Structure 1
C-alpha cells in the first residue's frame, strides 16, 4: 500500500505557492530554506513527478505541480476542519460580515460553508450593502470585517484579489451599437459607474444611463435582456454575455480589486480564522479567460471552465 502524503510537506508546498518563493515560504512556515528544499525533494520523490521548474531566477509550478496544489489545499482544509471538530477550545461568538450583493452571490456560499464546518459555534451576521455604506459601518464599529471594492481614495483595505474588468453586452442583442449607448450601472458614488463614464468620455462616446441599481442581479438582467451595456469583473461573467473590446469601440478598463477591511479589537483567533477562510474561498473562484468564451451557432456566448493553477490572484 502506498505511503500517505505528509501534511507538513503539503503545508510547505502551499506556502511556497502563496509566497512565490522558497525563501519567503521558509519564513512563513518557520523553517530554514534548506529544510524547505528538502521537504520539496521528498514530496517530489513521493509524487514521482517534478513540481517546480526553473524560470530564470525564480521557480514556477510544473503542470503536475499545478495539479497537486488543488489537492493539497483540499487536504489541508479537511485536516483543519477535522482538528477543529474535536477542539474543545474552538471559537465561539458573533462575527459581523459585510459585502456588496454581487460579491455575496459569488463568494459567500464558499466562505460560509467552509467557515461553518470548522467553527460551528460562531454565529455569522451578514450585511449586504454597497462598498461605500460598508466602509461607513466599519468606521462606526458596526461590522467586524467587510469585503469591499478597493478604493484607497475613499477607504483603506487590504487588496486580496485582482481580475480584469470588462465591458459586457448581450450576445443576442445589439445594445452596444446604439447611440447614445444605454448603460446599466450602480448609483452615483459607485466606483465602477464613475470609471465607465470617464472611459466613455475619454473616447467621446455618447451614452445614457438607463438603469441604476446596487443590485448586481438587476444590472446583469438588463444586460442579458439586451437593454443596456455594463461592466463586470471576469469572475462575474455569465452565459449569454458578450465581452466588448476596443475593436467594438470600448476603451480598456483598469482591473477590478477586492479589499478586506478589518475592525480593530476583534479577537485575533476569530479574525485570523475568518480571514483565512475568505482568502481560501477567493482562491477557489475560477475566472473565465477570454479564450474560454466562444460564440456558438446560435450567437450565445458559451463559457467553459479552465484549469486553475492554484495561485491566489494578486489583488481584487
Structure 2
C-alpha cells in the first residue's frame, strides 16, 4: 500500500467511531451524509480493509477499524501539534471546565477530544459535580466555563441554552422491573430537576413508586438500570442499545425536555475561553441560539 492517507477522511472516520452514527458524524464534521459515506468507501479502499459494520441502528468499528482509530488519532494530533508549533498565533493556557457526570461520558470522548486535536497547547482542568455546584463555582470565578442542566440551577434564566432533548423513562432491555406494581426508581438527590419531573409526573398519573437508589452520579443510576434493579430517567442522547424506553404503552407519563446550558465566568474572557466555548456550542447546539445569554 503506497497511497497517502487523507487527514480529512481520518477526521470523519474518528467522528463516526466516536458517535456510532454516520448521520451524527456528518453534522459534526459539517458534511452531507452521502459525502461521509463516500469518504469512508475511499478510506476502506486505501487501507484494503472493512472498517465499519452495521449493528442495528449503530455503525460499529471492526477490528481493523479499531487498529486504524489509534493511528488516525495520533496522525491528527501530530498534524495539529505541527501546525501549532509553527504558528506565532497559537493559543496556549489552561481553561477550568465543570460539568456533571451525566454529560462527561458523552463530552469527553468526542467534543473535548476533538478540541484537543485542534488546540493541543490549551490544557483543560476538569471538574465533575452537580449542576448547582458547577453554577456556584462559575459565578465565583473558580471555574471558567460550566455545562449544566438548566433546571438544576435555581436563579432563573442563566447562561445560554445550547441543547434541548427529550427526557425519557428507561429500564434494562433484559429485565422487567418496570412491570412491578410499585416502581423502584434510581434518581438524583432531592434538588435534581430530573427527579422532580419524574416524581411529579408519576404522582399526577397515579402510578405507585418508591425511590430505591439516590445518587448524584449518573453512572450509579445507569448501573442500577442495567442490573434490572430500577427505572430511571435519561436524556435521549444518553440511551444505549441495552436500554428499554418506557412510554404510554407501559403506563409511564411523558416527561419534559432536558435543557443543557453553557455558563461562563465574567473573568473568563480570553481567546482560549472563547475557543473552548465556541467549540462546545458548535458541537452540542441544536436550538439555533434560542437560549438565554444572561450569564455569558
1:275 counterpart residue number: 277
Contact preservation (8 Å) 2:146, 2:262 = yes
The separation in 1 between residues aligned to 2:111 and 2:33, in whole angstroms, is 23
Pairwise mapping of residues 274-293 of structure 1 onto structure 2 (< 5 A)? 274-282=276-284
Contact preservation (8 Å) 1:223, 1:230 = yes
Q: What SS does the corresponding residue of 2:103 show, helix, strand or coil?
A: helix
CA deviations over 1:49-94 (Å, ceiling 9, x no partner): xxxxxxxxxxxxxxx955459999xxxxx8x958655322211222
Contact preservation (8 Å) 1:85, 1:118 = no
The separation in 1 between residues aligned to 2:154 and 2:129, in whole angstroms, is 19
Instruction: Please report how far the alpha carbon of residue 110 of structure 1 lies from its aligned counterpart in structure 2 after TM superposition.
Output: 1.9
CA deviations over 1:101-132 (Å, ceiling 9, x no partner): 12011112223222222222222110000101
Contact preservation (8 Å) 2:202, 2:253 = yes
Structure of greater Rg: 1
1:6 counterpart residue number: none
1:117 counterpart residue number: 117
Q: What SS does the corresponding residue of 2:137 show, helix, strand or coil?
A: helix
Pairwise mapping of residues 230-249 of structure 1 onto structure 2 (< 5 A)? 230-249=232-251
Contact preservation (8 Å) 2:84, 2:120 = no
2:211 maps to 1:188: no
Q: 1:221 aligns with which of 208, 220, 223?
A: 223
The separation in 2 between residues aligned to 1:142 and 1:211, in whole angstroms, is 31
The separation in 2 between residues aligned to 1:269 and 1:70, in whole angstroms, is 35
Pairwise mapping of residues 64-213 of structure 1 onto structure 2 (< 5 A)? 65=32, 67-68=34-35, 84=84, 86-151=86-151, 153-154=154-155, 156-213=158-215
2:263 maps to 1:257: no
> What RMSD in Å do the two structures reach over aligned CA positions?
2.7
Count of aligned positions? 220
The separation in 2 between residues aligned to 1:160 and 1:84, in whole angstroms, is 29
Q: Which runs of 4+ in 1 moved over 6 A?
A: 69-72
User: Residues 222, 263 of structure 1: CA spacing in aligned structure 2 closer, same or farther, 3 A cutoff?
Assistant: same
1:26 counterpart residue number: none
1:12 counterpart residue number: none
1:4 counterpart residue number: none
The separation in 2 between residues aligned to 1:121 and 1:68, in whole angstroms, is 31
Gaps of 5+ in 1: 1-63, 73-77, 284-311
User: Residues 104, 245 of structure 1: CA spacing in aligned structure 2 closer, same or farther, 3 A cutoff?
Assistant: same
TM score, norm. by length of structure 1: 0.63
Contact preservation (8 Å) 1:162, 1:256 = yes
User: Residues 272, 235 of structure 1: CA spacing in aligned structure 2 closer, same or farther, 3 A cutoff?
Assistant: same
Q: What SS does the corresponding residue of 1:154 show, helix, strand or coil?
A: coil
TM score, norm. by length of structure 2: 0.67
The separation in 2 between residues aligned to 1:174 and 1:243, in whole angstroms, is 12
2:25 counterpart residue number: none
Pairwise mapping of residues 293-312 of structure 1 onto structure 2 (< 5 A)? 312=286
Q: What SS does the corresponding residue of 1:148 show, helix, strand or coil?
A: strand
The separation in 2 between residues aligned to 1:148 and 1:243, in whole angstroms, is 24
The separation in 2 between residues aligned to 1:126 and 1:238, in whole angstroms, is 25
Q: What SS does the corresponding residue of 2:111 show, helix, strand or coil?
A: helix
1:45 counterpart residue number: none
